[in-house]
Structures are given as C-alpha cells and as structure tokens.
Structure 1
C-alpha cells in the first residue's frame, strides 16, 4: 500500500453521502493511520478498532454505515467478526485481506462480506470502493418502483424484501443481486454480466458472483441444493424463474 498521506486540505463531503460513519478494523497501525486519514479527507467520520472484539463492541454501539474489516486480526479474526455482525446487522462490509488465494476470498464472502480488497492496495482505491458500496446502500436517491413477482415483494426505498410474507435478512449485495434478477425474470445472465451490472466492476473475481448466488439461494429456496427459483444454466450463467413455485406455496 502506498503509505503517503494526503495533504491537509479541508475535507469535502461526497455528494449524496453526507457525513457517513465508517468503522475501520485494522491491527497494523501504519495502515490504519493512512486509511483513516484518507477517509477523513473524503468527508467520513471514522471509528477505529485494532482487534475483533473491539470491532464487535463498536459495531453495536456506534451503528456504522459501513465497515472496512481486515481479514487477519488478533484474537477474533475478520471472518468470525463478519459472521457475528451478520447475526444482528445488515451493514455493508468490505473485507481487506493479505491472503490472495481464491479459497480465502470465498471464505470472506461466505462469512457475509459484500466486497473485498486485497493487500497491498491504494488507499484512494479503497475510498472509491467505500463510496461505491455506500451509494448502493443509502436511501437518498430516487427509488425504483416496487417489484412484485413470484411471491416476492421488493421495496427499493426501504431496501426490504418479503417472500411469501416473510422478510428476508439480505446483505447489501444479496439485495442488489435479487433485485436485478426480479426485474429481469426468465433472462439468462453470465457471471461477467452480473459482476458488471450488480457490483459495477469491469473485471473481477467471478467467484464473487458464485458465492453470492449460493448465499441468496440459502435464503429464498426451499432446498438450496435443488433450486427452482434461481437456476443455473450450465455453461452460460443464471436465470430467475418467475413462474416457479415452492412446494409449500
């Protein structure tokens, strides 16, 4: 990571993002100081934790708008922190990892992270990623219409989804992915198309899409191993079946 700090100029608030609160969880003090400076300069409030237990306490008490979470932490690692946060909160989480293997990135995503950044990284790039994720989570933009199909009621303004009358506990990316499919029923999309449309990436690790589809199936399917709503089209991608019905429906 480039350790050069930004010049001390007055902070400007990102348009539409307001004075959002970021929880930064990082045990390497030098990295934490640099990232915190860049986030402050971008107009964000920043709470800081250097271990997993403190992170959980601050997440509960400070209600952050987004968490930047290091994967490798003393005591309680980032994966377990993310899992515990997901039990009570739907706050967006960006996982930061120094482990570059695909299995490690998948583990972070399966724990509930919405996005990830691999070390070494540019702090400017991280700030841009934070802004991108926040823009998808805040409610200040003109909402799209409510979607009702196949037993789903999706409300973009409140970012809630009911399925057969039951509210689904979706993370940021799970909501965006389901919303994309519900608005385009019976159409097939490749992982490349999904990562560009839902994540806003021109390129990236396609296993990100695979993991999120698997997580989404666990929340909307009667049997995630035999999906009837979110189908795999082998060799192509995925399709949402608007005419599918659950066995108990």
Structure 2
C-alpha cells in the first residue's frame, strides 16, 4: 500500500484550514495544520518534512514570505502559496524566494487540489529524458536531479530544475512561453501570469552567482519565449 502524501497547511484562518483538511483528507492526503509561522517552525523541527506545504502569505507575527525566506534553501519541499487577490508583488516575491506556485484567496478547494497535484507531478515524477545534459559548463542529471555549473553545485527548486532541463533539452531553439508553461507548470498560460518569467529569472540569478556569462545563456525572445543559447564551448 502506498504511503499517503503528507501536506502541511500553514494559515491563521482556522476555519479555512479545517475545511481544506476535510476536503484534502477525503482525496487521500495526510494533512497537518499550523496556524502561524512560529507554529510551523516548531512542527517542522519535530517532524519529518512534509511532501508539500501550503503557505498563506498574510499571517500575524512572521508573514508567509518571511517564513519562506527562512526555510529556503534548507527545506526543498514544494510550496504552494495562498495570496490575497491582487497581491501581485507578494506573489512575485514568493516565487523569487522559492515557491512553486500560488493561488489567490479565497481559493476553490478543487482548484487548490489541481495545483497540488500539478506541483507534485513535476517535483516527484522522473523526467522523460533520463540522459544527463552537459552544455556550456552546465551539467544537469535528470536521474539524480542534480545540477552543477563549472563543477559548482547549484541549488534549484524542482520547478527551476525543470525550467532549465526543458530549455537545455531544446538548446538553440526558441521554446514558447505557452509550451514551457504547460511542460513545467502543468497548466495553460493565462493573461498576466508571470510565474514562468519569475522561475526563469531565478534560474538566471543562480547561474550568475557562479558565472555572469552563464546567465546570458538563457535568452528572452520578445513576443515568443525563451532560448538556451548553444555555444561552441
């Protein structure tokens, strides 16, 4: 019998937490709750890491963004943020800090379930192409999900890894934002959706921490998408 996927919901709205726990438990998940960032830190210090965290941005005490900043990169489990509707800056900051996806509140439990399953698919499922890739000093191994640049390990979230893998797999080609969104985020690209752009930006930033020239390997093709530049090196 397969072990149930364990979710940790961190939100100060007790009623919402109980509703989500009831709904997600009926869908086969094992659900734990924490009603503040401080309670979540205590829970995480006393228990094995969950398979995925659902994190509210606005909470008394430490905010969800502050908690996410504390947890990354020490805890690499996938994170789905819950944000106030219209809080674009918070969503972008959350993605930049290592969240995998976001959903505006009040959220529909069915849509949250779909986001959870999509994030788990891309974080747990093996990539179709299992061979390692090595281009321009970047070594990426889908089997172990490890990446290095000039022999220095890179700490990427599961989404960032999949972004880089997809672009490197199509080196020299322009990959449309629509295609990349479906491949990496497992959803259709919608108007004003900047999640993919932020993940690509994060990959560039992490490459630049090792080599400025490596960050330039990922080119934005205006109006079309992104391209991993194939070099002779």
Structures share a fold, TM > 0.5? yes
Distance 1:140 1:238 in 2: 23
Q: Which has the higher helix share?
A: 2
Unaligned stretches of 5+ residues in structure 1: 1-12
SS at match of 2:74: coil
The answer on 1:218 being equivalent to 2:179 is: no
Give the conservation status (yes or no) of the 8 Å contact 1:24–1:47.
yes
How far has the Cα of 1:59 moved from its partner? Answer: 3.0
My pick for the range that moved more, 232-241 or 29-38, is 232-241
Distance 2:52 2:231 in 1: 36
The residue aligned with 1:193 is 179
Give TM-score scaled by structure 2 length: 0.89
What pairs up with 1:1-249 in 2 under 5 angstroms?
Answer: 18-60=3-45, 61-139=47-125, 144-204=130-190, 205-221=192-208, 222-223=211-212, 227-243=215-231
SS at match of 1:62: coil
Displaced runs of 4 or more, over 4 A:
139-143
Distance 2:164 2:229 in 1: 12
Q: What CA RMSD, in Å, does the superposition of the two structures yield over aligned residues?
A: 2.2
Distance 1:29 1:91 in 2: 23
Distance 1:216 1:68 in 2: 23
Distance 1:59 1:183 in 2: 36
Give the conservation status (yes or no) of the 8 Å contact 2:204–2:216.
no
Give the conservation status (yes or no) of the 8 Å contact 2:10–2:56.
yes
Aligned length: 229
My pick for the range that moved more, 170-179 or 117-126, is 117-126
How far has the Cα of 1:156 moved from its partner? Answer: 1.8
SS at match of 2:99: coil
CA distances 1:75-128 after superposition (whole Å, capped 9, x unpaired): 010111111111312110000112423223212212211100111221122112
SS at match of 2:7: strand
